[in-house]
Structure 1
Amino acid sequence: MNMKLVQLPLHLSPDHALTLIDFLDQLQSTLWNHYGDAIQRDLRATTHTDHSTQDFDDSVSF
């Protein structure tokens, strides 16, 4: 995946800043509605850990 970073101006008027926030909210909603299930599936697949292969040899003093 290639990602190109875009430098955003930091001198927006409050009206333009609100417009940008609204756009980003709509973009997030659209992407989540379209790709949400696949994103969750991929995250579960990459974060799943097989606990049976972990070495628990901690020296815990009680």
Structure 2
Amino acid sequence: MSMKVTRLYTYWSPAEAQTIIEFLDRLRDQLWDTYGDQIISLLQEASVSQDVDELQAKLEFDDDIEF
């Protein structure tokens, strides 16, 4: 696989920068409306697979607790 480089201007006028920010906000909102549930599921699956410690899950939890 070869790396692709995308070049962007790094200087915009304040009006151009505002236009880009507004566009990105609208794009984010539209992507969230379209894919939000799928993104949540993806993040939950990734979180579960990273957080599970197999040894921890096999511990017994029937210890008597003295107060």
> Same fold by TM (over 0.5)?
yes
Question: How high is the TM-score relative to the length of structure 2?
Answer: 0.64
Equivalent residue pairs, number: 51
Q: Deviations over 1:3-56 (max 9, x none)?
A: x653221121111010000000000000001000000001111211434x135x
Which of the two has higher C-alpha Rg? 2
Question: How high is the TM-score relative to the length of structure 1?
Answer: 0.69
Number of the residue aligned with 2:30: 30
Runs ≥4 residues deviating over 2 A = 4-7
- Between the aligned partners of 1:54 and 1:25, the Cα distance in structure 2 is 43
Number of the residue aligned with 1:54: 55
CA RMSD of aligned residues (A): 1.8
* Percent of residue pairs identical: 35
- Runs of 5+ unmatched residues, structure 2: 57-67
- Runs of 5+ unmatched residues, structure 1: 56-62
